[in-house]
Amino acid sequence: MSASARDLGQWGAVDPALRQWYEALMQPDVPTASCCGEADAYFADEIHVRDGKTYVTITDDRPDEPRGRPHIDTGTEIEVPAHKLKWDKGNPTGHGIIFLSRNRYVFCYVQPGGA
């Protein structure tokens, strides 16, 4: 499944270097497809493994409207398929970030840390 990043004006207040990082992220299992952008991104700083599966918990309490994204309650747990874990590009945000479609298909999960 491929998806195009959406520019809904959400990039106006974003640092250009951070914007470039978001735009350059590609899905680990489909390296020609974008992880999408800020309109698909949620902070998910809690990560754990249970029964061999990876789960993240949404910790993002930023307003959704400026980002053009649907609301997901903090505390919501999302399973991240192993082939969607992204480990190769660092992460300058200071947060784990999960990229989700509107129906919660996981595009990518980028772990916190690294620059």
Q: What is the pLDDT of residues 1-34, one digit of tens each?
A: 444 444 444 445 567 888 888 888 999 999 999 9
- pLDDT recorded at residue 71: 95
- pLDDT recorded at residue 37: 80
60 found inside a domain: yes
Mean pLDDT of the chain: 86
Q: Beta-carbon neighbour count of residue 83 at 10 Å?
A: 10
CA distances from 75 to 14, 43, 45 (A): 25, 11, 10
pLDDT at 96 over 50: yes
10 found inside a domain: no
CB 77 within 8 A of CB 57: yes
- CA 90, 42, 46, 34 torsion-angle sign: negative
DSSP string, 25-39: -EETTEEEEE---GG
How many domains does the structure of the chain reveal? Answer: 1
What would the two tokens of residue 112 be? 């916190």
pLDDT at 48 over 60: yes
**What range does the domain containing 105 cover?**
16-110
* % of the chain surpassing 90 pLDDT: 61
Instruction: Provide the whole-model pTM.
Output: 0.84
2 found inside a domain: no
Residue carrying the six token digits 């993002």: 60
Mean pLDDT of 88-115: 88
5 found inside a domain: no
Mean pLDDT of 78-93: 91
- pLDDT recorded at residue 2: 41
